[in-house]
């Protein structure tokens, strides 16, 4: 799932490549991904693509009318776990079943929302540009995780009696962190995913805040270095513990352990995060019942 650093680098690269282009036409093959019908997707034809920015883990592509007819429009895109928004220099074959939304630009380029796998969960909404911040997907977002909010605000976000792992992934509490970067942030802060946020002292809260900046800022710096003009299908995520169960912890050498949930895996270093305790793997305990 693309999270703040992955969506941010996507927005930056798309903005660099596509801003200023004229839209020739737009279509949504199958119509499944487009959640709005007014204004129609056709309204993009003849507009200028103004730019691409990020809102939480979503992308906002902004369009302005040419010649002063109609208002500015914005395509709000949520990639969910398997979507990608990419610019291609050729148009998609209409047989490409991964295509969800195609925005054809002058010069033969095409901005394409694609989704891999069998689930169709990625979505887009075409909205009046000034309606983006009022849309419920955006208006309920907490402050961005990067740059991390100031200490006092951050402490307020964590003042909830919830486990750190789900709390940090709650977009309404803090925006941009998902299942990959939460493992990295908690490992960097040397805190258990099952610690209750309200039980942290101020020094521990500050460690999480610093880890947000270190992990997400570090990832973004990495992407700026290694990603060229276009963002590949699979980003080279600089992960140290997530998806690394069974490998030695890069800091202390202990074996990275994992807890499997229905649709994700939590990874952590028992030596540094849980006082040496290996947490119960729910997948195994279910099998043993």
CA distance 286 to 20: 54
CB 267 within 8 A of CB 184: no
Measured from the CB atom, the residue of 222 and 251 that comes closer to Zn ion is 251
Q: Are 166 and 194 in contact (CB under 8 A)?
A: no
Given candidates 4, 55, 266, 269, which one binds Zn ion under the rule CB under 5 A? 269
Please report whether residue 251 would count as binding Zn ion according to CB under 5 A: yes
Nearer to Zn ion, 231 or 249 (CB): 249
> Under the criterion CB under 5 A, does residue 272 sit at the interface with Zn ion?
yes
Of residues 133-172, those binding Zn ion (CB under 5 A): none
φ/ψ of residue 162, rounded to 5: -125, 155
Using rule CB under 5 A, residue 278 touches Zn ion? no
Of the candidate residues 252, 255, 261, 282, the single one contacting Zn ion (CB under 5 A): 252
Is 244 a binding residue for Zn ion by CB under 5 A? The answer is no
Alpha helices, DSSP H only, in 158-262? Answer: 164-169, 179-188, 202-226
Pair 111, 18: CB distance under 8 Å = yes
Q: Per CB under 5 A, which region of 71-79, 224-232, 245-253, 279-287 contacts Zn ion?
A: 245-253
The answer to whether 282 touches 259, Cβ cutoff 8 Å, is: yes
Q: How far is the CB of 162 from Zn ion (least distance, A)?
A: 24
The number of C-alpha atoms within 13 Å of 270 and in the hemisphere containing its C-beta is: 14
Nearer to Zn ion, 28 or 249 (CB): 249
Strands 83-88 vs 73-78: parallel, antiparallel or unpaired: unpaired
C-beta closer to Zn ion: residue 64 or 254: 254
Minimal distance, residue 273 CB to Zn ion, in Å: 7
**Residues that bind Zn ion in the complex, under the rule CB under 5 A:** 249, 251-252, 254, 269, 271-272
């Amino acid at each position: 799932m693309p999270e703040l650093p992955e969506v941010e680098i996507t927005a930056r690269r798309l903005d660099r490549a596509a801003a200023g282009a004229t839209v020739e036409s737009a279509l949504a093959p199958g119509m499944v991904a487009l959640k709005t019908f007014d204004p129609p997707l056709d309204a993009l034809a003849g507009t200028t693509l103004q730019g691409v920015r990020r809102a939480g883990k979503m992308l906002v592509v902004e369009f302005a009318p040419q010649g002063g007819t109609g208002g500015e429009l914005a395509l709000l895109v949520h990639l969910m776990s398997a979507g990608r928004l990419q610019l291609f220099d050729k148009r998609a074959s209409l047989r490409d079943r991964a295509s969800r939304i195609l925005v054809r630009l002058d010069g033969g380029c095409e901005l394409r929302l694609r989704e891999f796998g069998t689930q169709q969960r990625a979505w887009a909404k075409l909205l009046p540009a000034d309606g983006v911040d009022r849309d419920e997907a955006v208006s309920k977002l907490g402050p961005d995780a990067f740059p991390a909010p100031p200490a006092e605000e951050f402490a307020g976000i964590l003042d909830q009696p919830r486990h750190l792992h789900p709390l940090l992934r709650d977009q309404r509490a803090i925006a941009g962190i998902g299942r990959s970067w939460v493992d990295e942030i908690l490992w960097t802060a040397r805190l258990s995913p099952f610690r209750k946020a309200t039980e942290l002292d101020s020094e521990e809260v500050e460690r999480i805040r610093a880890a947000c900046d270190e992990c997400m800022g570090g990832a973004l710096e990495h992407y700026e270095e290694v990603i060229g003009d276009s963002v590949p299908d699979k980003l080279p995520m600089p992960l140290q513990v997530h998806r690394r169960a069974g490998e030695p912890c890069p800091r202390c050498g202990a074996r990275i352990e994992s807890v499997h949930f229905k649709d994700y895996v939590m990874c952590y270093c028992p030596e540094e995060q849980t006082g040496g305790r290996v947490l119960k793997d729910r997948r195994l305990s279910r099998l043993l019942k």
